[in-house]
């Protein structure tokens, strides 16, 4: 029985569908939404901008707010509660590092379109990396 599910989210349609899938198909499970900020890019913009903040944790939390607002809207529509956590750095590494705390991971097949080519070039596809390295089962939602 699945009691704890990790759902990594960005603002993509696929991520929203992954959360919907987890909430609808495992109604008894505790669902935690993870959003990772400070993603490396070709120009290092987001990662560098985050390190220049006085309070990195506070800045990361502010950047995660739009994603968590979307996640709470999806959960509210299904009359479900969710937990939220913020990661900083490389998305796949953040997800895999937390995986053992959960029974399974449910994530979207593709991240945000605006950064897909950059992420694939620098760090590879997050869903593919997580599915290969995760110590717990992974469901990829299209």
- DSSP assignment string, 40-59: --TT-HHHHHHHTSSSHHHH
Give tens-digit pLDDT for 48-104. 455 555 677 788 889 899 999 999 999 999 999 999 999 988 899 999 999 999 999
Would you say 99 and 134 are in contact if contact means Cβ atoms under 8 Å apart? yes
Q: How far apart are CA 87 and CA 19, in angstroms?
A: 17
Determine, yes or no, domain membership for 120.
no
Determine, yes or no, domain membership for 118.
no
Q: How far apart are CA 105 and CA 90, in angstroms?
A: 17
Q: Are residues 75 and 61 in the same domain?
A: yes
Q: How much is the pLDDT for 5? A: 98
Report in angstroms the alpha-carbon separations of 116 from 1, 126, 136: 34, 10, 25
Q: Are residues 57 and 79 in the same domain?
A: yes
Determine, yes or no, domain membership for 68.
yes
What value, to the nearest 5°, has the Cα angle with vertex 84 and ends 81 and 85? 160
Would you say 107 and 95 are in contact if contact means Cβ atoms under 8 Å apart? yes
- pTM given for the model: 0.84
Q: What is the mean pLDDT of the chain?
A: 85
Q: Are residues 53 and 67 in the same domain?
A: yes
Q: How much is the pLDDT for 121? A: 46
Domains in the chain, number: 2
Determine, yes or no, domain membership for 27.
no
Q: List the domain range (segments joined by +) for residue 66.
A: 37-89
């Amino acid at each position: 029985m699945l009691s704890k599910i990790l759902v990594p989210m960005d603002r993509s349609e696929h991520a929203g569908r992954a959360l919907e899938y987890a909430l609808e198909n495992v109604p008894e499970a505790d669902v935690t939404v993870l959003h990772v900020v400070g993603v490396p890019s070709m120009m290092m913009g987001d990662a560098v901008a985050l390190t220049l903040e006085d309070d990195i944790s506070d800045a990361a939390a502010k950047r995660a707010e739009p994603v968590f607002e979307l996640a709470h809207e999806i959960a509210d529509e299904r009359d479900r509660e969710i937990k939220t956590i913020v990661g900083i750095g490389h998305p796949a590494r953040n997800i895999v590092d937390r995986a053992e705390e959960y029974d399974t991971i449910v994530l979207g097949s593709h991240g945000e379109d605006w950064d897909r080519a950059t992420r694939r070039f620098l760090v590879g596809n997050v869903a593919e990396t997580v599915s290969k390295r995760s110590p717990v089962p992974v469901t990829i939602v299209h």
